[in-house]
Structure 1
Amino acid sequence: MTRAGTLGSVPAAFLPALRARFGALVRELSKFGTVGGIAFAIDFAIFNVLLHQGFESLLAKTISTVLATTVAFAGNRYWTWRHREHTNMARQYTVFFLLNAVGLGIGLTCLAISHYGLGAIWPEFQTPLADNISGQFVGTAMGTLFRFWSYRRFVFGDTVVPDPTPAPPVTAPTREPAATPPSAPPPAPRAVPRM
């Protein structure tokens, strides 16, 4: 067999495994996105309520993020990564919040750069609209990328809990005996002419 023939069959052998891993990642991303969307709506609503109540921008963002994070932890633990091993909830909760604090820091950095850095030069960067764009959209997007990667790697780990329902046993296909061609009927006796 040629080297090209051998190499050509290698990707074909890994294609089902790659497809399964990609499918699992897409399912996790969609669940993570759904949980994140709900947490984002909670964060967005509380942040704006607190801004209108007169809270300082960074304090309002911190409070709204902590409340939204609690919802996100529950959703991710019990839905997104429920198939992963969950042995120590206190450890998961602590690591989740520590990593979320880093994500919060990313969002607060975006908000601070906009509100206090650019706002010192251009006052229109100190409006609620500018705060929402920098804190809610830019900061949240950057923080979300970090959170997905870090939660998946450090909080909910790679250990997948096996499915408790056993898979049906795989049996080798049985070979049916090759069909024998029907035998020809014996030749009819020849009639002997009478004389």
Structure 2
Amino acid sequence: MSRHRRLAAEVLRFFVVAQAATWVSFVLFNMLVHGLFLDRPPMPDQAILGYVVANSVGMVISYHGASRFVFPHRPPVQADGGWSAYIAINLAAMVLPLGCLAISRHVLGLDSALADNVAGNGIGLVLAFVARFYLFRRFVFRRPALPQAATESVAG
């Protein structure tokens, strides 16, 4: 399989896992902040905190999907199975949708469910998706190094 086809397959699998985690986060966020399926939302004035809580649940789902489905051929190089790097990257990437949500709410004054979801779960997640894919592939699920003899035979 060519390098580009492998990369395209990884991107597609990453997208599938990200969609599963995103839908869980989306439903949970809208339950917490906007009362989806509830009589009253428990966090109506705490959209940023609600987003962090919902996406932390999604982060756990995405780690397991990434390690077992997206990058099973790229074992994590860290002793903790990549958890610490994965969490650090997710928290760093979460700044993108949180920033979009904060601008929408606090700069533009938009606080409807539609505005929150377009800002945080639309624009912000697209930006975070690209950042996370690159960073996970580069720092958490790296390609295993070839033994020295294999690299010499490839070079020679």
Same fold (TM over 0.5): yes
Q: Find the counterpart in structure 1 of residue 133 from structure 2.
A: 148
Residue of structure 1 equivalent to 2:38: none
Q: Which of 81, 98, 105 is 1:108 aligned to?
A: 98
2:118 maps to what in 1?
133
Greater helix proportion: 2
**In 2, Cα distance between the equivalents of 1:54 and 1:85?**
39
Q: How does 1:1-195 map to 2 (within 5 A)?
A: 20-51=2-33, 52=35, 53-55=41-43, 56-88=46-78, 90=80, 92-119=82-109, 125-159=110-144
Structure 1 gap ranges (5+): 1-18, 120-124, 162-195
In the TM superposition, residue 85 of structure 1 has moved relative to its aligned partner by 2.7
Q: What SS does the corresponding residue of 1:126 show, helix, strand or coil?
A: coil
SS in 2 for 1:71: helix
Paired residues of 1:84 and 1:160 also in contact (CA < 8 A):
no
Give identity over the alignment, percent: 26
| 1:139 aligned partner, one-letter code | G
TM-score (norm 2): 0.84
Moved beyond 6 Å, runs of 4+: none
For residues 47 and 138 of structure 1, the distance between their equivalents in structure 2, rounded to whole angstroms, comes to: 16
Provide closer, same or farther for how the CA distance between residues 89 and 39 of structure 1 changes in structure 2, counting only shifts above 3 A: farther
Distance 2:28 2:145 in 1: 35
Q: Deviations over 1:18-54 (max 9, x none)?
A: x700010011011000000100100101000101223
Q: Alpha-carbon deviation of 1:91?
A: 5.2
Q: Which runs of 5+ in 2 are unaligned?
A: 36-40, 147-156
Larger radius of gyration: 1
Distance 2:70 2:102 in 1: 31
Aligned residues: 139
Q: CA RMSD in A?
A: 1.8
One-letter code aligned to 1:39? A
Report if aligned partners of 1:85, 1:160 keep a CA contact under 8 Å in 2.
Answer: no
Query: What TM-score do you get using the length of structure 1 for normalisation?
Result: 0.67
Q: Report the AA paired with residue 114 of structure 1.
A: S
Pick 1 or 2: higher relative contact order, CA cutoff 8 A, min separation 6: 2
- Partner residue, 2:152: none
